[in-house]
Every structure is written in C-alpha cells, then in structure tokens.
Structure 1
Amino acid sequence: MRVIFMGTPDFAVPSLEALLTKHEVVLVVTQPDKPKGRGKKMVPTPVKACALEHGIPVLQPEKVKEPEFVEQLRSYEPDLIAVTAFGQILSEPILEMPKYGCINVHGSLLPKYRGAAPMQWSIIDGEKVTGITTMYMAKGLDSGDMLLKAEVEITDEDTFATIHDKMAVTGANLLLDTLDQLEAGTLERIPQDHDAATYAPMITKETGHIDWSKNRQDIINLIRGLNPVPAAYTIYEEEVLKIFGAVISDVQSDDAANGEIVAVVKKGFVVKCGDGCLLITEVQARGGKRMMTDAYLRGHAMKEGILLQ
C-alpha cells in the first residue's frame, strides 16, 4: 500500500518504523524544525530524522490546509494517509484524498480523552487503564469512526514517560493490524458515542502548579502525569521548585496549613495536603539538576514552617 505518513514527536517514530516493514511509505509530513538549546540551533523533528535515515522524502508545511500543499500531497497518489501525533488539523480535501482514507493513531480509548494530551490526563485523573484507538479521521476533533483498540495498564509506578513509551509501541502494532484488516476487507467502523466523550486539553506550565489543598493521591497523580515534562511544581521562597516524586507520609500534622513544610527528614521534606501529608522524594531547583531530595537537602537547607505556594 502507498502510504503518506504524518507525525512529529518521538511518540510517532515507532508507527513510521512499523509501516516501513510492510508498506511503501512514499512521503513523510512533519512539523517545521524548531530552534533548541542556548545556541538556538534548528533541530529536526524525531519523525523527520527517522525518515531521512530511511531515505524518505520529507515535507514540513507551516499549514497543511494551503491549496498548494494539498496539490503537492495529491501528486504522491497515496492509497492511505496514516497520522500519529502530527500536530495540525487536516482539511477536508486531504481527508477525502486517499483511496482508503486517513487513519489516526490516538492515545486513548475513545471516546474518552479526545484532544492534545490524552496520556497525561489519564494519569492525572487516576485512570488504571488507558490504550490506543485507531480511527478514521473526520472534521471534528478526534470524533471519527473507531476501528481497533488496544488496552494498556497504568500501574502505580507509571509516569508520563513510561506510559508514553509503552503506548508508542502499542500504537505502532495496532496501526499495522488496522492496515492488515483494511486490506483484507474485514475492518469494522464503529461510530463513537459522542455523549460519552471527554476532553484532554493541551498541557500548559500552569497545569503543573500544585494545589496543596487537594488530596494526596490527586497530587501524586499530577506529579506522575507531568513527569518528566513539563513537571509539577511549587513555589518555595519565591523560586520554582519542580517535583518529580512523592509518597504518602504517616506524619500527623492536623494543625498545619495546606502547603506547609511540617518536617524535614533524611529522605526528603514533608508537606501538609488536604487529607494528610506527602513526603517529597525527587526535586529540581531553578538552574539545578533533577535529583533525589535527600541529595538536594545536603546542599540546601529547607525550613519547617515555610508555606509552599
């Protein structure tokens, strides 16, 4: 099958690599390169880097809906367009272009968690199971007919980083299974129940600002869901302190205010939350490296009674 692949971040690379094992990928479309680092050097997207390694032509349009770009796509005569975490909405002329349509690899069990950040929000919300859905793309946001699904367990130890990696592999395998059934004529289209849909909005820096009045498990889930990026954080003495790990503490401090540091111990510092206390086990100060809190405390004196904001 002649396939155009659209994708951008690391999450999409396994999908592209999987397609290359069984199909003819005639073109890769990805987001424009962006400057990174102190030198602001232009860095290719992970999908672009993968495509170039395999000698596949790459296009990086600012806007895929521009008529000139749509005609450029049409010239490749794709049987199918496969999309994994591309980052732009496809116009109707593109959706209608391929013989077999446009199929998207989405990081949730639709119709739950439509939107930009389904993996992060599934952890933040305390879900125990997430997964991948392949779907026909439509004009609405992640609203097209579903095709295949694969579940992925979320353990208590999982973070966004670990779920991301598991889901990327699961998505790649499910994409191949979807195309196999598509070619065999056995693929079933299942309309979504739009009334059951939930939304997973884009993650912003402010998403990670910890509200210490919430219960301990909700705060742990927030920390896990934003680990490693953009990271949950609090304000300690007017400086941002990123937090990457926390466990429930048995320290009792009913009289303390929410967000108050109630104890500084060998393994970390203890913070009062809405339903008890948390021991903070891994942090990163502004301008510093990420480290276990016991190592951080050897070089930084934290004070009991300080109120985290």
Structure 2
Amino acid sequence: MPHREGQSLRIVFAGTPDFAAESLKALLASRHRVVGVYTQPDRPAGRGRKLTPSPVKRLAQEHDLPVEQPLSLKDADAQQRLAEFDADVMIVVAYGLLLPQAVLDIPRLGCLNVHASLLPRWRGAAPIQRAIEAGDSESGITLMQMDAGLDTGDMLLIERTPIDDATTGGDLHDRLAELGGRTLVEGIDALAANGLSATPQPDEGVTYASKLSKPEAKLDFRQSAAALSRRIRAFNPWPVAWTHLDSDTLRLWFATPEVDPVVERDTPPGTLLEPASDALRIACGEHGRDVLRVTQLQMPGGKPLAARDLLNANHPRLSPGQRLGQPKEADR
C-alpha cells in the first residue's frame, strides 16, 4: 500500500559486508527511519582470529541502532522479534541468510533486495566478479521485490554502469555499492509516495554467479590472453589470481592482452618472454602464441608492486625463459 508523498517509512535493514554498509549509510541519510538492523554473527578475523563485527554492525552501532544477529530466521522466536519492529519494509543487501516465506510476509510492504547485477543475468553470490570474468560490457543494480527463490523476484528499478578493459572487481564493487545506495533511496522514496511498478524477470538470459574460491584463482596459461586478463581483473582484490613460481606462489593483480603479439615459434604456455619496459610478457594460449602483459604483481612474501619496479631491479626470478605454473617435482 503506497504512502503519502513525504512520509517516511519504518525500515528493517539486513546486510553484512562493506557493500551492504553503503546502502545502510544511504538510508540513514534519507528521510526514512531505520528501526532495526540484522547482520551475520561476529566472525573470527585477522591473525589473532578475534571475533570481529561486520561492517554493517559497526555502522549500526555508531548510530545506536538495535542489532540482531540470529543464526537463522526459520524459528518462531526470530520471526516474532522481527515482527516486533513493526517495519513497513525490510531491505536486504548481501545479508548471507535465506529468508523463508514467513519472513518475507512480515513487513507490510514486503522485502526488497539490492542486487549487484542486471537481473536475470548473474543471480547468486558473486555477480560483480562473474560479470568481469565473462567479458560483460556492463553491470548494474537491480532493486527487486523478494520472493522465496534465489534472486528471482520482480524487478522494481534498474540502474546500469559500464565495464571496460581496466575495470577490476574492486573498482566495480565500489561503484555498484555507491550506485546501490542511491538506487535504493530512489526506490524507497517512490514506494512511500506512489508505489513502484514491478516487472517479472524474463525467462531468457538467466545465469548464475557461483561463489568465489581461492583454488579457482589459479591461472591456466593455455587460456587466451583475453580470458586470463579478465580473470585477473575480476579476482582483484580477492581471491587474487595466482600461479606457481617454482615452489612458491606468484600473484598477478593486473594484466592486459598484448595487441598483435609476435611470438616467433610455438612457446610453452606460461613461459616468460622478453619483458616490456613496464610489463612482464607471458606466452599463453593453446600454442603459446598469445601474450599476456602483466603490469602489477606480487612476488612470494612481498607486496603488490608495479612490474616496472621489479624489472628495474632486475629481479632474478623473472628472467626470460622461466616457466610459470609448473611447480617443482617435489611439490607436485
């Protein structure tokens, strides 16, 4: 039921990471009232494995908001506590818990989700990184009316943003976090005034963004330079693309395909070629005829550096002919 223009809504917010905190921050700066916050339980973090609150919890505490951290929303006590907030709407952003239908039905205007893709493309856990990895030319925010499915609800608002050949996972994350907050407030304002029209997601174009893992960030230099560069950008800043440098781990933070590469003969994929002034050059592709230009990398035990700095230092482990991705026999 729409509200009068200018009236504020009572909102319960559910979210956990930095991405979600940007949406909560936008709501706190709006005319609407956040009456309660749900977030994941504190998790061990850092070398000391100390229990650490989520970014959303820290922001909520700064604003003296009540915080709930249930392990599940399936039991009656948790649902009763949610009902006691008497919220007009629940906003869910990267919360990390599935909401059963009984929870979706509690707020008077239902539950809305801020999702970091152009639905129905990239439903699921890692839409930002999967869009870059797949070579999509754009991404965006979809404000969605939640239902019991996985990112299957009706679409309320869509905002787009481009992806170019320099966009990393971190770049797109930050841009979409800010865009998500703005889109959310626009949607809540419209909901409070005249309501929002809902558009069902089309059946065509559905893709799923599976959760990221460290093992999948290992590079296979038999892939094309274009595919490898997208994966490296997508996995920056986490889980960070990597390969073997003998028995150690070499992390690659930024790379581009070389335009019109010239490789005189078939070269084993992963072989270091003569470097450019500002980049390592790695043979890749099925026959080693592609060239990947790596301009930012992290040596074992070191920090991320520009390739130019490592090349100027004549780092002995980055000599032409060295083959990456091949652990020593003792390490296999």
User: TM-score range, shorter-chain basis?
Assistant: over 0.9
Asked if residue 216 in structure 1 is aligned to residue 222 in structure 2, the reply is no
2:73–2:99 Cα contact (<8 Å) kept:
yes
How many residue pairs match? The answer is 309
| Aligned equivalent of 1:154 | 163
User: d(CA) in 1 for partners of 2:205 and 2:317?
Assistant: 49
| Aligned equivalent of 1:259 | 270
* Deviation string, structure 1 residues 53-93 (Cα, Å, up to 9, x no partner): 11101111122223221111111111100011111111111
- TM-score for the superposition, normalised by structure 1: 0.95
| Residue 253 of structure 1, CA deviation | 4.3
User: d(CA) in 2 for partners of 1:35 and 1:285?
Assistant: 27
2:317 aligned residue (295, 301, 304): 301
| Aligned equivalent of 2:137 | 128
Asked if residue 247 in structure 1 is aligned to residue 252 in structure 2, the reply is no
Q: Aligned partner of 1:304: which letter?
A: P
User: d(CA) in 1 for partners of 2:300 and 2:211?
Assistant: 24
1:58 aligned residue (58, 67, 73): 67
| Residue 215 of structure 1, CA deviation | 1.2
Residues 31 and 213 of structure 1, relative CA distance in 2, 3 Å threshold: same
Asked if residue 4 in structure 1 is aligned to residue 20 in structure 2, the reply is no
2:155–2:200 Cα contact (<8 Å) kept:
yes
| Residue 291 of structure 1, CA deviation | 1.1
2:13–2:38 Cα contact (<8 Å) kept:
yes
| Aligned equivalent of 2:84 | 75
1:283–1:296 Cα contact (<8 Å) kept:
no
Extract unaligned runs of 5+ from structure 2: 1-8, 326-332
| Aligned equivalent of 1:138 | 147
Residues 108 and 291 of structure 1, relative CA distance in 2, 3 Å threshold: same
| Residue 187 of structure 1, CA deviation | 1.0
Q: Give the % identical residues.
A: 38
| Residue 186 of structure 1, CA deviation | 3.8
User: d(CA) in 2 for partners of 1:181 and 1:253?
Assistant: 62
Asked if residue 84 in structure 1 is aligned to residue 93 in structure 2, the reply is yes
Query: Is 94-103 or 9-18 further displaced after alignment?
Result: 9-18
Q: Aligned partner of 2:282: which letter?
A: V
Pairwise CA RMSD of aligned residues? 1.5
| Aligned equivalent of 1:14 | 22
Extract unaligned runs of 5+ from structure 1: none
Q: Aligned partner of 2:27: which letter?
A: L
User: d(CA) in 2 for partners of 1:154 and 1:195?
Assistant: 22
User: d(CA) in 1 for partners of 2:167 and 2:67?
Assistant: 34
* Deviation string, structure 1 residues 264-287 (Cα, Å, up to 9, x no partner): 454342211115111222111333
Residues 255 and 30 of structure 1, relative CA distance in 2, 3 Å threshold: same
Q: Secondary structure at the match of 1:235?
A: strand
1:188 aligned residue (165, 183, 197): 197
* Deviation string, structure 1 residues 215-268 (Cα, Å, up to 9, x no partner): 111111111111111111111102111100123333524320111222245434
2:304 aligned residue (290, 293, 296): 290
| Residue 12 of structure 1, CA deviation | 0.9
User: d(CA) in 1 for partners of 2:95 and 2:264?
Assistant: 48
Q: Secondary structure at the match of 2:160?
A: strand
1:7–1:87 Cα contact (<8 Å) kept:
yes
